[in-house]
Structure 1
């Protein structure tokens, strides 16, 4: 197999000495490869090194062909134009100069063979759902989602042999995601994409997992990867059970060997005491028995240690993707009880209502998002328009709609208006905790009536054990910070019986998304989740779908 990207013994550390990659080897073949791994494993850093955005401390990277790179955070510059972001402004200026009669040689050199650059740019924008955006429009007037899609169009226009994408679907609504999926499916070159988006990863030809500093390749898409890992884990658990059985057997044999040794020594002593053998013979037999006993004991101990080593090796093959297992009886809401009654302002009040600075990432994007796949696009009203939002019992509501339509604003309006039960809100930015305080102190701040031991017990269920609970929140990894925030949210006093979540899976690795699903499946209260992540919504038992549109308001299908 020929490889398009080869990473050879690459090491990288940040200026403060924090290590990220250590002598990493990897080889990525042609086709579409999804690069996955837990938050903080070094995926984005590796992509930047391949793109020459970062220089490794040691090692080398070789790439066959020109590289295009779409980072997570697209560099903006409010005064730049779409043309600038597409990197065609120089060619366009030269083309316009020639069209106006200026036949200077430098203009022809700037255009080269790219006489149809504007037509190609508009066609690429239109293919990505951005046909309404002019080439001279300033970046400052674009939404975040539009900016990402224009930056993707820039890479597609350059037609690189190798394309690198870092979490490209973050903050995109479903319509924009579908267009990105189509572009990825049509890509004929080499693609390496870092993502936790299940639908995107299902389009891959192979999955590369960066885990504990090692890249492992799995043929097929995400489903094939999960099937292979499940098979590996089943075999690993069998190895563990076999090794545990061997240890028990060796322990029994060691006890039996010691019993035999002790019995033989007692028999020798009795023979001497009963004058059955001469003293010199008895001493010889005693020494021989002791030597034999020592050899037998050492052999038994050696076998036991070998069995323990095999167990350790087997245990290392078992993934430690721990699961959150909690019970939250205090959050339970009786069926039929009214949890929320919220009169809704007429549209488009929510879409135009300004957000306060503390509301986290603003809603921005491109295109519409159907409540379910296959429905109409943005601006098309579906179902019954609601004048009052009423939530009863432990309903699980998915709040859908295009970015910028007012979903975040609606969640904030619920907080401001107040519910009939205790309510908690998880914003897009995980900024609810005090970075200077420990994990345990942050939870105690929202549950002042709980003892330290109670809080530590709760945190253990969120996978914070031992001294980890005393670690400052500001030093946690992304996944750890998420779990600490979730622990504080669900441990608050009084227990929340209405939970509001705003795009909770953005920037979470797949292990964290699974842990969030586990926690929400233990939650017994009412739930409203604004999300574009359809696979995630399917795992948490959504019972009702509402759609927020700019012009139609809030509708129920």
Structure 2
């Protein structure tokens, strides 16, 4: 159906993003395309879609793929019908039905008499109520735009569908519609996503890295198991190589000590024998050359083993380096932090919630705030932070330290460098080298220290945020996370998960990512209707 052979893509500045990529997509294949941020997943998907062209390589396609992009800003000046590629047919159909039957309209319609009906059916399935085909795309939310393009699958009925982070802006109800489609469809699929619930519905995982594409014949859980097995084998290889290096260094030391003793013993014998000075010098030079050769042989062996060890260590995951290391001494389990009584809020005349909210938040709890898009989740968070006052009811808050981390990581000051951002949180008098040591631990090496924060990816900003909190040392009483996984790849989601699970304070999360919620041990829900 679609074949890539030896595909290479270069950036406009001629840097190579990936090279010699080979991929085969057959009928009814359901492929997950995964990889770390910057690996080129979205670029490769655009090449499959024909939106971008490779620098070299061969692309063979028997079908016209249907592509759902991750970002939709380029469609803001389009109508919904134009974005879906059906505007001309819809206009032609309406003109014909109004009695304006021309050859141009008939040719444009191309006997597609059910086009408007299919649009209505697709919109109904994706719960796009009150959306008009001639409505501007700029008036729609991110979730509505995603659902518009997903509806296009039903409208166009393609044989191959390419989806780039399709669940990013969807609430839980819309995600479940997406999961149902993926599970039941006979279309071939290639999906870029960090949504592990979605990835588990696919039967092949293709991992894109600097080494090319590695194919795993199973869903994400199978892939994760294989990676874990490979990781354990790699750890054993590292331990074995470390043992080999210690042994080589011991052998080198013992050999040199033994040679030094032999040289000293030989020198005494020569002195006792009363050999001429010229003979003594010759023997000494020979001994030094022999020692030098031996030293060189051992140094080369130790160097080779050390190089092999460093290469192996580069393959190890970075997770274990990143520890929050909070001082949790001021956290008190069971303390009442928030009491909300009959609270409600409105934008205009209509109240957000049908029933006023009543709840308490106790120190140490792990809570998710749930509800469809537009149900007021972020508004509730802002009330908990004290930024908004409820228009009905009351909220009582204990005086506590709260950290709010939104999906754009707004706590990061984009005008600062990476080092300046980290130093801003230095309340305990750490020396400069200690701050840089912490940055190194969170994968911000020397070349990052002077880099402006505005140039960082979502995953890098998340790691810098965690590092900054670690430098601050004292654990906040409450951490609030607003859609924390939206802009992260799987590796950075796992880093965030590990950090959150190490935190002992109160956690309040807005997220539609049910897999993530399960991994961070959420025990309570506040449901908004």
TM over 0.5: yes
| Distance in 1 between residues matched to 2:346 and 2:35, nearest whole Å | 41
Q: Which residue in 2 is equivalent to 1:366?
A: none
**1 CA distance for matches of 2:159 and 2:93?**
26
Report the CA distance between 1:349 and its aligned residue.
Answer: 6.0
Partner of 2:478: 498
CA distance in 2, matches of 1:12, 1:489: 37
Of 145, 162, 165, the residue aligned with 2:163 is 165
Q: Give the conservation status (yes or no) of the 8 Å contact 1:331–1:523.
A: no
Deviations 1:463-516 (Å, cap 9, x if unpaired)?
445564443212323311122233345655975312222111111111211222
Write the distance in 1 (CA, Å) between the matches of 2:14 and 2:401: 42
The answer on whether the counterparts of 2:324 and 2:467 sit within 8 Å (CA) in structure 1 is: no
Q: Deviations over 1:399-451 (max 9, x none)?
A: 00101100011111222258321222222322222222123322443555644
Write out aligned runs for 1:536-551 (5 A). 536-549=516-529
Does structure 1 conserve the Cα–Cα contact (< 8 Å) formed by 2:325 and 2:473? no
Structure-1 residue corresponding to 2:214 = 216
Match of residue 266 from structure 2: 268
Question: 1:422 is matched with which residue: 391, 397, 401?
Answer: 401
Q: What's 1:92 paired with?
A: 90
Classify 1:513/1:129 alpha carbon distance in 2 versus 1 (closer, same or farther; 3 Å): same
Q: 1:100 Cα shift? A: 3.2
Q: Matched residues in 2 for 1:406 and 1:93: separation? A: 38
What is residue 362 of structure 2 aligned with on the other side?
A: 392
CA separation in 1, counterparts of 2:289 and 2:321? 51
Where do 1:135-534 residues align within 5 Å? 135-212=133-210, 214-275=212-273, 293-321=291-319, 323-330=321-328, 332-346=330-344, 387-415=357-385, 416=387, 417=389, 419-420=397-398, 421-447=400-426, 450-453=429-432, 455-456=435-436, 458-466=438-446, 468-488=448-468, 496-534=476-514
Classify the secondary structure of the residue corresponding to 1:151: helix
Aligned mates of 1:89, 1:237 — CA distance in 2 = 57
Q: Which has the larger displacement, 26-35 or 487-496? A: 487-496
**Paired residue secondary structure (1:505):** coil
User: Is contact 1:129–1:179 with CA below 8 Å preserved after alignment?
Assistant: no
CA RMSD of aligned residues (A): 3.3
- For residues 506 and 179 of structure 2, what CA distance do their matches in structure 1 show? 33
The verdict on how the C-alpha distance between 1:103 and 1:128 changes in structure 2, with shifts beyond 3 A counting, is: same
Query: CA distance change for structure 1 residues 152 and 295 in 2, over 3 Å: closer, same or farther?
Result: same
**CA deviation map 1:181-200 (0-9, x unaligned):** 12222333332211100011
**Superposed displacement of residue 221, structure 1:** 0.9
Deviation at residue 156 of structure 1 after TM alignment? 4.1
Following superposition, the deviation at residue 25 of structure 1 comes to 1.8
TM-score by length of 2: 0.86
CA distance in 1, matches of 2:140, 2:240: 60
Matched length: 517
Q: Distance in 2 between matches of 1:36 and 1:324?
A: 23
In the superposition, the TM-score normalised over structure 1's length comes to 0.82
